[in-house]
Structure 1
Amino acid sequence: MRPTDTAAFAALAGDPVLAIERAEFDRARRLISELAGIQLSPHKRQMVHNRLSRRLRAHGMASFGAYLDLVERDPREREAFVNALTTNLTAFFREPHHFELLAALAAEHGRAQRRPLRVWCSACSTGEEAWSIAMTLREAGCAAEVLASDIDTDALETAAGGVYPAERAAALSAARRRQHLLRGVGANEGWVTVRPELRPMVRFAQLNLQSAEWPPMEPFDVVFCRNVVIYFDREAQRRLLERFTRVLRAGGLLIVGHAESFPATHPAFRACGRTAYRFEPAS
C-alpha cells in the first residue's frame, strides 16, 4: 500500500511522530515571506520540516500548527523561526575575484583619501565574509570601517565571536592564516580565532534587509549583498536596490552573488567586473 503524503514526509525525516502537512508548510512559507522577505520554493517542504522539528522539540509540541500559532503570537519565537529557516552557507574568501576588486579599490582609496573606507557586509551570516573583507583591507593597509549585519541572531553571535573550526580556514594560505588568525591550543585545539588587530575594524548588528525602516547610516563606499536576493521576489529585489542607492556614495560598488544580476535592471548601476556594479547616479 502506498504511504500517505503525511506518513511519507515523517518517514523521510526519520521521525515517526511529527509531520508537516501541506497547509502547515504553506503557512510557514507565508510567515517567512512576511517576516524576512524570503520566498521559499514549494520543493523546500522537507527542509522546513527538518529545521522546524527542532523548535517543536524545544517546546515539547506535537504539531506544526501549534508551533506556528506560537510564532505568530510570540516575538521571541518569531526570531527563532527566522533563524531556523535562514540559510547560512558561507566561507572565507568565497568568490575570490570580489576580494581582488576590493583590494584594488582599497589601495586606490588609501592613496587618495584621508577618511576610512566604509564597507557594508549586508548579509554576513556566520562572519566569514565580513572577516575576509577586514583581512583584505588590513593587507592593503587601508583604514576602514566595516558594518556586518544579518537577520539571523544566532549566526551574528558566531560572527561576532570570530571563532571557527580550523578546517573552515584550511583553504587560506599559510601566510594569511599566520597574519590574521590565532590557533587554539590545549582545550581549544582544532579551533582558530581572528586576531585582535582585526576586531576593531568590524561592527556587527542585527538588520532585516526587508524591514520597513533601516537605522540611520553614513554612506558606504562598498556594499556586499551576496547570495541573498535569490530568496526575494522581483518586487522585493527592486525595493532593495532602490534603498541601496540611498546608502552608497556616488562611484561606490555594489557586489552581489555569482548567480545574481539584479543591479543590471537599474539605470544608475554599471557593471565593472564579475557580478560587481558601480553606482553612477545621474548628476
Structure 2
Amino acid sequence: MNGRAEPLLDTSAAAAAIALHAEHLTGIVLPTDGAAMIGARIGRRLTALGLADLDAYLDLLRSPAWSDERHHFISAVTTNESNFFREPHHFEHLRAKVLPPLIARARRGGRVRLWSAGCAVGQEPYSLAMVVLDMMPDAGLHDIRILASDIDRAALANACSADYSTASLASVPAGMQSRFFTFEGDVCRPIPAVRELVRFRELNLQGYWPMCRPFDIIVCRNVAIYFAPETQHRLWRRFAGALGTDGRLFLGHSEHIPTNCGLPLRPDDVTCYRRLPDHPDVGAWS
C-alpha cells in the first residue's frame, strides 16, 4: 500500500454495493455500475484512511468501525453546491405574494416558520433571512424563524461559521451586500440580525423529522433531483403534510410534482406549489 488511493477505473461489485448503501442512507442515487465516479467520490476517504481500494472501504462500511466513518461517507456522497439568491424568481415570488401576509401575521403576534431543507453551506437560508429583514427590519422581535437543515455535518459547520468569499456575493444586490454583510479582506459574514433568524439542525430527509408544528414555507431545491422517483414522491407527501394551509413548497428548476399525484399541492409559480385548503390529511410526516 502506498498510502495514496486512486479511484478505481473499472466496474466493481464494491462500487455497486457502496452506491446502494448511499441510497439507503441518504436517498441519493449513484450509478451502481459507475466505479470511476464512486471512486472519485470516495477517493479522499481512501487516502485519509490508508485503504487500497473500494473493496477495503466496503469492508469498513460493514464493520463496527462504520459509526465513526458514517458522517465522512455522507459528506463524500452529497453535493453541497449553492449560491446566494439562487433562482431569483423564487425570491421575487416570496416578496410579491407569499411573505406579505405572513409578515402581517407576525406583526399581529402570530407564528411564522420557514424551512430550508438541504441548506448545504448556508447561502439559501441566509438569503431567505435577508429578504425577510428587507421587508420587516424588526423581524427579530417577532415570532418568525428559519429552520435550516442538512444531512452533511461538515456542510452545517461551514454554514454556522458563515465565512464566505466576497466573490460569492456576486448574486446579492449591492444594497443588501452593504446592509447585511461585514467584510474583512476577502472574507464576508452575514450580520448578527441575519444569522439570528436562522437555526441550523442536522437532519436526514429520509429519516425521522422531530418538528411537530407546520411550516408556512419549505424550500427544498436541487435535493430531490438526486433521488429515485418513488423516494421523491414519498418526500413530496411528507412536505405536503408538513405545510400549513396555503403553505408554499419551493423546488429546484429541474424538479416537478405532477398535478395528478393525489397530493394537496398545486402550482403557484415556477416550481412553487401551494398547499390546498380543506384537503384530506396526507398522513404522518414526521
TM over 0.5: yes
| Alignment coverage as a number of residue pairs | 264
Q: Is 1:19 aligned to 2:8, yes or no?
A: yes
Which residue type is aligned with residue 82 of structure 1?
A: I
Q: Is 1:125 aligned to 2:120, yes or no?
A: yes
Q: Secondary structure in 2 aligned to 1:222? A: strand
In 2, Cα distance between the equivalents of 1:125 and 1:18? 25
Summarize the Cα distance change of 1:30–1:183 in structure 2 as closer, same or farther, 3 Å threshold: same
In 1, Cα distance between the equivalents of 2:203 and 2:250? 18
CA deviation vs aligned residue, 1:206-244 (integer Å, no higher than 9, x gap): 111011x21133210000011111111121112111211
Kindly report the root-mean-square deviation, in angstroms, between the aligned alpha carbons of the 2 structures. 1.9
Question: How far 1:51 sits from its partner (Å)?
Answer: 2.3
Contact 1:106 1:117 in 2 (8 A): no
1:268 to 264, 270, 273: 264
Question: How far 1:45 sits from its partner (Å)?
Answer: 3.8
| Counterpart mapping for 1:88-167 below 5 A | 88-104=80-96, 105-113=98-106, 114-141=109-136, 142=139, 143=142, 144-167=144-167
Question: How far 1:40 sits from its partner (Å)?
Answer: 1.4
Q: Secondary structure in 2 aligned to 1:210? A: coil
In 2, Cα distance between the equivalents of 1:98 and 1:31? 34
CA deviation vs aligned residue, 1:102-126 (integer Å, no higher than 9, x gap): 2232222222443242100011011
Which residue type is aligned with residue 77 of structure 1?
A: E
Q: Secondary structure in 1 aligned to 2:196? A: helix
In 2, Cα distance between the equivalents of 1:267 and 1:218? 19
Contact 2:16 2:31 in 1 (8 A): no
Contact 2:166 2:188 in 1 (8 A): yes
Question: How far 1:76 sits from its partner (Å)?
Answer: 2.2
Contact 1:241 1:263 in 2 (8 A): no
Contact 2:220 2:250 in 1 (8 A): yes
Q: Secondary structure in 1 aligned to 2:82? A: coil
Contact 2:112 2:216 in 1 (8 A): yes
In 1, Cα distance between the equivalents of 2:36 and 2:6? 15
Contact 2:117 2:150 in 1 (8 A): yes
CA deviation vs aligned residue, 1:158-210 (integer Å, no higher than 9, x gap): 111111111111232221101111111xxxx1110110111110000011101
Question: How far 1:43 sits from its partner (Å)?
Answer: 7.3
Q: Normalization by structure 2: what TM-score? A: 0.86
Summarize the Cα distance change of 1:244–1:178 in structure 2 as closer, same or farther, 3 Å threshold: same
Which residue type is aligned with residue 168 of structure 2?
A: R
Question: How far 1:47 sits from its partner (Å)?
Answer: 3.1
Q: Secondary structure in 1 aligned to 2:171? A: coil
Summarize the Cα distance change of 1:226–1:204 in structure 2 as closer, same or farther, 3 Å threshold: same
Q: Secondary structure in 1 aligned to 2:230? A: helix
The farther-off stretch of 106-115 and 215-224 is 106-115
Which residue type is aligned with residue 152 of structure 1?
A: D
Gaps of 5+ in 2: 281-286
Summarize the Cα distance change of 1:43–1:262 in structure 2 as closer, same or farther, 3 Å threshold: farther
In 1, Cα distance between the equivalents of 2:33 and 2:91? 34
Gaps of 5+ in 1: 1-14
The farther-off stretch of 142-151 and 154-163 is 142-151
Aligned to 1:71: 61
Q: Is 1:55 aligned to 2:48, yes or no?
A: no
Summarize the Cα distance change of 1:75–1:117 in structure 2 as closer, same or farther, 3 Å threshold: same
In 2, Cα distance between the equivalents of 1:254 and 1:18? 38
The farther-off stretch of 33-42 and 124-133 is 33-42
Aligned to 2:233: 238
Question: How far 1:78 sits from its partner (Å)?
Answer: 1.6
Contact 1:263 1:269 in 2 (8 A): no
Aligned to 1:3: none
Identity of aligned residues (%): 36
Contact 1:149 1:207 in 2 (8 A): yes
In 1, Cα distance between the equivalents of 2:258 and 2:113? 20
Which residue type is aligned with residue 200 of structure 1?
A: E
Aligned to 1:197: 193
